[in-house]
Amino acid sequence: MKTGLHQQTGLRQELRINPRLYQAMDMLYMPMLDLQQHLQQELLNNPFLELEEPEEEAVPEKTTEQEQESAKKDDEVDWEEILINGFDVGGQREQFESLQYVEPVSVETRDLADHLRDQLQMLEVPPRQRLLCEEIIGNIGEDGYVTATTEQILESVNQWLLSNNPGANQPDQDDPLDSDDDAAVDTPGTNGNGNGSALPPGVLLFTVPEFEAALTVVQALDPAGVGARDLRECLLLQLKDAGDAASLTYRFVNEAFADLIAHRWNDLARKFGVEPKAAQTAADALSRFDPKPGLKYSDQGDAYITPDLIVDKIDGRYHVFLNDTGVPRLRLSRAYQEIARDRAKMTAENRDFIASRMNSATWMIQAIEQRRQTMLKVMNFIVDRQRDFFEKGIEFLRPLTLREVAEVISMHESTVSRVTNEKYVQTPRGVLPLKFFFSSALSTTSGEDASARSIRAKLEKMVAEEKPAKPLTDQQIVHLFEEQGIQIARRTVAKYRDQLGILPARMRKRV
């Protein structure tokens, strides 16, 4: 085989997607707020694009012709100068910038750790114990539980002591930290909230009993249940705070938590010498406590949804509208079009610039209109297919796939997927994601398919209407569906039940 560089000719077929098609696909994928920002950026970058302004108000009769002419000159932009030197010389850029959408930026808010530290500062705690309390607070998650083990927290705080105090292993009888002095100390792992000097040499390393004492201080803070290491400890702390430490509910949680969470009422009744109904009533008392007490102080932020489409019922018919009132209306700049016609005064470089910008602006306007028409086509088909859902509810939602929509509107399945992704529609039944209307199908005896989402809704309704003393088993639910002509396997019922957060029949049974 001879090595070296060779040239050869050949023919082959390949698919190439130009950058404009990529951009069109991205625009189809964008939610409403993202599209607004994208178009505002295009207004800044392409001088051939301009906003469609509303019709100008009538000029008052008292305004003289000279005043009108002067105002007209003030509003005019020197487009030839902009063409040569860019936007910096004109006033049009400021107009575009003033119309930009600015997404609000969330400001820093106080979280659970700040809330706990504020309470700790008000307590008379020795500096040494305060140091360990701060370390524990730094290891509490948003839900209020301690996220690290005892060994990990002690290792972290002791490592900080050793790094700042070389003689930390040597006990010192006159250690000032063993007193109740209120002097502040620097604390590790607390985002720099410590405000004192480093600990002096000779301090003892922290031990497990000291950790338990510090954890008790933290667990006494608000909210009740904070600082727990598991659900059982969290419930015990809240029961103590509520003054129910002597109740049967407290004994259930403290002595038979495994039987409690498994809803074994008869076992609990025999173990504690009470009636099964009394055991069930005691367990029901836990519903007033919060299993994640720290979430009430977490900064989850506000999630705003702007619907891309609106479905409204007018005169008995459903109509689809595009919610694009906030999207800039673009058109080709008339001033630049006039400049483009006079090619004799331009250099070759300017002609190429104008041609590229003009084509880009024309394509952008066409892409926006194509996006509008595609979204309306998809939503109109969904409304026609899911009319029973809009009229009667979720139990009448029909199965639907992306391929079905693509075949009807003569588009590719991936295009329909982009249209429906992260898009929302405002309907008489609430604001819903477009993906809500798509679900798999289950066969029925009548030959028609049933939507998996409607099956879950029917299952939830069956469980809500069952007799508490005789809850429906998965097999009984299968038989009920068969009576309705729906063929479904027992494992499918179990899967849907888990998705809905419904417990098995044994755990739903009431005495």
DSSP assigned state of 105: P
Q: Is 7 contained in some domain?
A: no
pLDDT band with cut points at 50, 70 and 90 for residue 196: very low
H or E stretch at 370 = helix 348-385
Question: Is residue 99's pLDDT more than 70?
Answer: no
Task: Please check whether residues 183 and 139 belong to one and the same domain.
Answer: yes
Return the CA Rg of the chain.
35
**What does each C-alpha distance from 443 to 334, 398, 434, 489 come to in angstroms?**
59, 12, 24, 11
> How many Å apart are CA 451 and CA 457, to the nearest integer?
10
Task: Please check whether residues 204 and 239 belong to one and the same domain.
Answer: no
Task: Please check whether residues 197 and 238 belong to one and the same domain.
Answer: no
DSSP assigned state of 198: P
pLDDT in tens, 138-190: 999 988 999 989 999 998 888 887 777 655 444 443 444 444 444 334 444 44
Q: Is 123 contained in some domain?
A: yes
Task: Please check whether residues 453 and 481 belong to one and the same domain.
Answer: yes
Task: Please check whether residues 236 and 214 belong to one and the same domain.
Answer: no
- Work out the percent of the chain whose per-residue pLDDT is above 70: 69
Task: Please check whether residues 125 and 155 belong to one and the same domain.
Answer: yes
Q: Is 364 contained in some domain?
A: no
Last residue of a domain, one of 245, 263, 297: 297
Task: Please check whether residues 188 and 244 belong to one and the same domain.
Answer: no
Q: Specify the CATH number for the domain of residue 464.
A: 1.10.10.60
Q: Is 27 contained in some domain?
A: no
pLDDT band with cut points at 50, 70 and 90 for residue 496: confident
Q: Is 225 contained in some domain?
A: no
Q: Is 167 contained in some domain?
A: yes
Phi, psi of 427 (to 5 degrees): -125, 170
pLDDT of residue 201: 53
Task: Please check whether residues 162 and 248 belong to one and the same domain.
Answer: no
What average pLDDT score do residues 211-237 get? 92
What average pLDDT score do residues 24-32 get? 65
pLDDT in tens, 325-369: 766 677 777 666 666 666 666 667 766 777 777 777 777 777 788
Alpha helices in 409-485 (DSSP H): 413-420, 452-464, 474-483
Last residue of a domain, one of 219, 250, 268: 219
Last residue of a domain, one of 273, 297, 321: 297
Task: Please check whether residues 189 and 236 belong to one and the same domain.
Answer: no
Question: Is residue 80's pLDDT more than 90?
Answer: no
> How many Å apart are CA 38 and CA 30, to the nearest integer?
9
Q: Name 450's bridge partners.
A: 442
Q: How many domains does the chain have?
A: 3
Task: Please check whether residues 250 and 171 belong to one and the same domain.
Answer: no
pLDDT band with cut points at 50, 70 and 90 for residue 195: very low
Residue 253: count other Cβ atoms within 10 Å of its Cβ. 25
What is the four-CA torsion angle of 446, 447, 452, 453, rounded to 10 degrees? -60
Burial of 26 (0-12, 13-18, 19+ CB in 10 A): middle
Site of tokens 């979204």: 375
Q: Is 43 contained in some domain?
A: no
Task: Please check whether residues 194 and 255 belong to one and the same domain.
Answer: no
What average pLDDT score do residues 236-258 get? 90
Parallel/antiparallel/unpaired status of strands 330-332 and 424-427: unpaired
State which residues form the domain around 176: 112-219
Task: Please check whether residues 117 and 215 belong to one and the same domain.
Answer: yes
pLDDT of residue 276: 86
Largest CA distance in the chain: 104
Q: Is 19 contained in some domain?
A: no
pLDDT of residue 108: 58
CA neighbours within 13 Å on the CB side: how many for 185?
Answer: 25
pLDDT of residue 93: 42
